[in-house]
Structure 1
Amino acid sequence: MNFGGRTGNKICQYMSLSLLRKVFGVRVSMLSSMQKPLEHLFIKLDLPGENPKCFPRYTKQLNFSVLYRKLVAESHELVLPDAQPTHYPLNESVYVSDYPCPPDILFPLRDQFRQELVFKKELTDKARQKIAEGIKALGIYTNKNITKVTVHVRRTDYIEHIKSRYQLTPLDKLYFQRAFDFFRKKVPYPVFLVTSDDPKWCKENLIDKDVAFVGSSMEVDLTLLSLGDHHIITYGTFSFVSSFLGRGIIVYPYNENKWPFFSCTDSKIFQLQPIPRD
């Protein structure tokens, strides 16, 4: 599996690789270049790591969607937890060369990945401390009845990226207000805990009597975002994986025929809630 990209990409790539093993029973390994940064985040990784230099250069390269369709076609049946595949579906080694993050086929395994990718205790402790400080700053001294909704706001580098690649403008205050109001009507005592690469914009546009900025380092933010009862995300794999490794409903920006788009948006199982961004 390609090891490029930032933290969100690497976690998505790891999960995509793990998915191939879980579903099709194929042997997989990750390069040490992907293994090492993930080991700083999680207690343990179930996938083996290797560093064969020939993989990217000489092994057949496929993108994930092509390989996935090939495995579906080659496998007579999907692998169940206690079953074995009817035959081994690959007759050659493959190097996955792109940056897969397929939400629709990852979501059925959400609970499994939550158990597999557990953040290290020191990160969890720091994240819980930031959450407690944020709640206290709002004048709330007990979280007994609070519904914690974590919010990730990605701006800076993504403003130009989504403009050039997807012809989208940055998410503005309207999207977040709609997302906040969705939870204010749905759950008791929601508190919105915001992290972002643009703290200034968040503090000027989002802070309210039930909204606190709790941003910290990348590792702590990633952990903190996964600890919410529910989640509001923006664009990018960092937003997605942090909410995916959490629990509850994931609110995401919806714009018809524009990225990002999740299939099965009406699924009660997947707990995805689109909110219009414009």
Structure 2
Amino acid sequence: MAAMLMTSSRRHPPLNFMKKPCWKVGILSILSVMLVMLYISSKNLTLVQHPIMVKMVERMSKIQESLGIQSNYSALEPSYPVPFERRYNESGCYKRKPVVAIAPWQRVQYGGRWNGLKLPVLVMAGGGNLGNIMSNYASIYAIGRAYNVTVRINKGMHQQLMSIFPNMTINALLNSTKGIQKLAFLRHYVYGNVEAAAAGLLGPHIFSVHGCPVEVQLFHAYSCEIRKEFTFSPDFQEKVKEFWLAKRDFVGDAVRVGFHIRRGDYIRYARKRGRKLPNETYYENAMNFYKERFNNVVFVIASNDREYINKTFENHTDVIFVPGTNREEDMAILASCDHSIMTVGTFSFWTAYLAGGYVVYPGDFYIPNYPVQKERFERAHMDYFVPISQKPL
């Protein structure tokens, strides 16, 4: 009981402005008024995307956190590793609140509607490969939940995802949207202009969200719901059963660790930014992490470079490969594993995220503003994501 009381107090810090620096409260008030005035008076959304505006929102968030208004919700667990059951509430959902940029008292409510939908309405345009589109969906889902705002996805995105995940609850926007206003995704932790639109600061309009958001600090708070949204269709579930049935003699009762290795176009992507992809040393370190913790482990490997993984793991007796028929089936199989090893890319991230369990990732792989790397996971308090070095341990 004492532990529960301590946890509760940490998650919901008391608001005591009398003990807080008055100058911070004053600056926060001034910034809030300036933002609201600029947002409401501006019909040109390029103003919102200006770096000064983004910095202003970021500064507000930092002041809010220092005042105890907008908590970062520091990790509930004292150290790693901890039992899984301590991370989840009675419904099986992760015990966390979203890290939002705009507090409830800063938001604006409207009574207007468009075709029966409460305004404002945010429509995710979507784009990219499967992992990117799933990130788009999860981010707009979390925006809708965190800000209680109407969200939709475009028709093409809806058709593509629905064929894989028929349990999705966000509908497509099928009506004509003349005068729709575009919001470009800004590569900042504070999801500036989109959160501003969701909070009502840009007016009662319809907004089209572009880019490729991977806002883990928002959607991780709804991890239980996100996993339900991304429930694979019966066809893919049947293929997963067939895969494990064919491998039952080899796998037995072993702990299954999904392992996705992204290569192909990512080799050039990393090189252009002065980085190298996770190497064989990282693979060994990551696999040893699980071998040291479990007596019997099988690694289930998928990649977009089949020749590479066949050669790299040809002498490993504890490895099996996914069929590689299509990416959706590969993801479904990896998501059915007990734990995961990821490398880079959103596809790799989602195979691990859907699987649950512990996730090992390259902790020293860094590209500024890259959406799936150590600083993002730490900001979202994803404490079951374990960074492993690419250097010999």
Q: Residue 125 of structure 1 aligns with which residue?
A: 238
Q: Do 2:126 and 2:211's aligned partners in 1 also have CA atoms closer than 8 Å?
A: no
Q: Residue 226 of structure 1 aligns with which residue?
A: 335
Indicate yes or no: 2:384 matched with 1:271.
yes
Aligned residue for 1:171, secondary structure, equals coil
Higher relative contact order by CA 8 Å / sep ≥ 6: 1 or 2?
1
Aligned residue for 1:239, secondary structure, equals helix
Gaps of 5+ in 1: 76-87
Counterpart residue identity of residue 362, structure 2? P
The one-character-per-residue Cα deviations of 1:156-211 (angstroms, maximum 9, x if unpaired) are: 111111211x3211222111111000011123411100011111111111241211
Counterpart residue identity of residue 147, structure 1? V
Q: Note the C-alpha offset of 1:131.
A: 3.5
Given candidates 85, 91, 101, the residue that maps to 2:214 is: 101
Aligned residue for 2:301, secondary structure, equals strand
CA distance in 1 between counterparts of 2:362 and 2:323 reads 21
Given candidates 161, 182, 187, the residue that maps to 2:289 is: 182
1:66-85 equivalence runs, <5 A: 66-70=192-196, 74=199
Q: Residue 225 of structure 2 aligns with which residue?
A: 112
Counterpart residue identity of residue 102, structure 1? E
Q: If you compute each CA radius of gyration, which structure gives the higher value, 1 or 2?
A: 2
Q: Do 2:260 and 2:348's aligned partners in 1 also have CA atoms closer than 8 Å?
A: yes
Q: Residue 76 of structure 2 aligns with which residue?
A: none
CA distance in 2 between counterparts of 1:173 and 1:257 reads 18
CA distance in 2 between counterparts of 1:215 and 1:17 reads 32
Q: Residue 271 of structure 2 aligns with which residue?
A: 163
Indicate yes or no: 2:141 matched with 1:18.
yes
Q: Note the C-alpha offset of 1:100.
A: 0.4
Q: Residue 262 of structure 1 aligns with which residue?
A: 374
Residues 58, 112 of structure 1: alpha-carbon distance in 2 compared, 3 angstrom cutoff: closer
Q: Do 1:150 and 1:231's aligned partners in 2 also have CA atoms closer than 8 Å?
A: yes
Instruction: Percent identity, please.
Output: 22
Aligned residue for 1:110, secondary structure, equals helix
Q: Residue 298 of structure 2 aligns with which residue?
A: 191
CA distance in 1 between counterparts of 2:354 and 2:228 reads 9
Aligned length: 258
Residues 266, 50 of structure 1: alpha-carbon distance in 2 compared, 3 angstrom cutoff: closer
Deviates more, 1:23-32 or 1:179-188: 179-188
CA distance in 2 between counterparts of 1:61 and 1:269 reads 28
Q: Residue 14 of structure 2 aligns with which residue?
A: none
Residues 266, 63 of structure 1: alpha-carbon distance in 2 compared, 3 angstrom cutoff: closer
Counterpart residue identity of residue 297, structure 2? P
Q: Do 1:103 and 1:262's aligned partners in 2 also have CA atoms closer than 8 Å?
A: no
CA distance in 1 between counterparts of 2:386 and 2:241 reads 26
Q: Residue 19 of structure 2 aligns with which residue?
A: none
Counterpart residue identity of residue 227, structure 2? R
Aligned residue for 1:119, secondary structure, equals coil
Residues 132, 193 of structure 1: alpha-carbon distance in 2 compared, 3 angstrom cutoff: farther
Aligned residue for 1:245, secondary structure, equals helix
TM-score by length of 2: 0.60
CA distance in 2 between counterparts of 1:151 and 1:257 reads 20
Counterpart residue identity of residue 150, structure 1? G
CA distance in 2 between counterparts of 1:155 and 1:256 reads 14
Given candidates 185, 192, 200, the residue that maps to 1:63 is: 185
Residues 89, 271 of structure 1: alpha-carbon distance in 2 compared, 3 angstrom cutoff: farther
Q: Do 1:135 and 1:212's aligned partners in 2 also have CA atoms closer than 8 Å?
A: no
TM-score by length of 1: 0.83
The one-character-per-residue Cα deviations of 1:45-71 (angstroms, maximum 9, x if unpaired) are: 10011235647x741424261135526
Aligned residue for 1:29, secondary structure, equals strand
Indicate yes or no: 2:348 matched with 1:239.
yes
Counterpart residue identity of residue 337, structure 2? G
Residues 104, 266 of structure 1: alpha-carbon distance in 2 compared, 3 angstrom cutoff: closer
CA distance in 2 between counterparts of 1:59 and 1:272 reads 37
CA distance in 2 between counterparts of 1:219 and 1:38 reads 10
